[in-house]
Amino acid sequence: MTQGSKKRRDWGLPMAEGEEECTPDIINVGGFGNSGVVITEEGVVVVDAGIGSGTGRRIIRAIRERTKAPVHTIIYTHGHFDHAYNVGPLFEDAKVKGHPRPRVIAHQAVLKRFERYKKLFGHHEHINRIEYDIAKEVEVLPPEFYYPDLTYADAMMFKLGGLTFELYHAMGETDDATWVWIPERKAAIVGDLIVWSCPNIGNPLKVQRYELEWAEALERIAGKAPEILLPGHGPVVRGKLVQEICLNTAKFLRYMHDEVIRLLNEGCWIEEILDRVSLPQDLANKPYLAPIYGCPTFIIHGIQRRYAGWFSGNPTNLFPSKSAEIATEVVRAGGAEKLLERSRELRKQGKIQLALHLVDFVIEGTQDNQSRKEALLLKAELLEAKASAERSYIARNILRHGAKAAREESSRL
Ligand SMILES: [Zn+2]
C-beta of residue 38 within 8 angstroms of C-beta of residue 230: no
Q: How far is the CA of 233 from the centre of ligand 1 (A)?
A: 6
Would you state the pLDDT for residue 17? 79
Q: How far is the CA of 95 from the centre of ligand 1 (A)?
A: 28
Would you state the pLDDT for residue 140? 81
Q: How far is the CA of 403 from the centre of ligand 1 (A)?
A: 26
pLDDT in tens, 211-227: 999 999 999 999 999 99
Element at 338 (helix H, strand E): helix 336-348
Q: How far is the CA of 230 from the centre of ligand 1 (A)?
A: 13
Would you state the pLDDT for residue 7? 53
Would you state the pLDDT for residue 3? 36
Q: How far is the CA of 29 from the centre of ligand 1 (A)?
A: 14
Q: How far is the CA of 38 from the centre of ligand 1 (A)?
A: 19
Would you state the pLDDT for residue 8? 58
Q: How far is the CA of 68 from the centre of ligand 1 (A)?
A: 29
Domains annotated for the chain, with CATH where assigned, are 3-249 (3.60.15.30), 321-411 (1.25.40.880)
Q: b/e per residue, 102-128, with b = 16+ CB within 10 A?
A: bebbbbebbeebbeebeeeeeebeebb
Q: How far is the CA of 263 from the centre of ligand 1 (A)?
A: 31
pLDDT in tens, 263-300: 999 999 999 999 999 999 899 899 999 999 999 999 99
Q: How far is the CA of 83 from the centre of ligand 1 (A)?
A: 6
Q: How far is the CA of 33 from the centre of ligand 1 (A)?
A: 6
Q: How far is the CA of 50 from the centre of ligand 1 (A)?
A: 9
**Cβ-Cβ contacts under 8 Å for 408 (sequence gap 6 or more):** none
Element at 377 (helix H, strand E): helix 369-389
Q: How far is the CA of 196 from the centre of ligand 1 (A)?
A: 11
Orientation angle between helical segments 211-223 and 296-307, nearest 10 degrees = 110
Length, in residues, of the chain: 413
Q: How far is the CA of 13 from the centre of ligand 1 (A)?
A: 9
As a whole number of angstroms, the distance between CA 410 and CA 145 comes to: 39
Q: How far is the CA of 232 from the centre of ligand 1 (A)?
A: 6
Q: How far is the CA of 82 from the centre of ligand 1 (A)?
A: 5
Would you state the pLDDT for residue 137? 82
Q: What is the pLDDT along the chain (413 residues), one digit of tens a residue?
A: 333 334 556 778 888 878 999 999 999 999 889 999 999 999 999 999 988 888 899 999 999 999 999 999 999 999 999 999 899 999 999 999 999 999 999 999 999 999 999 999 999 999 999 998 888 888 887 767 899 999 999 999 999 999 999 999 999 999 999 999 999 999 999 999 999 999 999 999 999 999 999 999 999 999 999 999 999 999 999 999 999 999 999 999 999 999 999 999 999 999 999 999 999 989 989 999 999 999 999 999 999 999 999 999 999 999 999 999 999 999 999 999 999 999 999 999 999 999 999 999 999 999 999 999 999 999 999 999 999 999 999 999 999 999 999 999 999 99
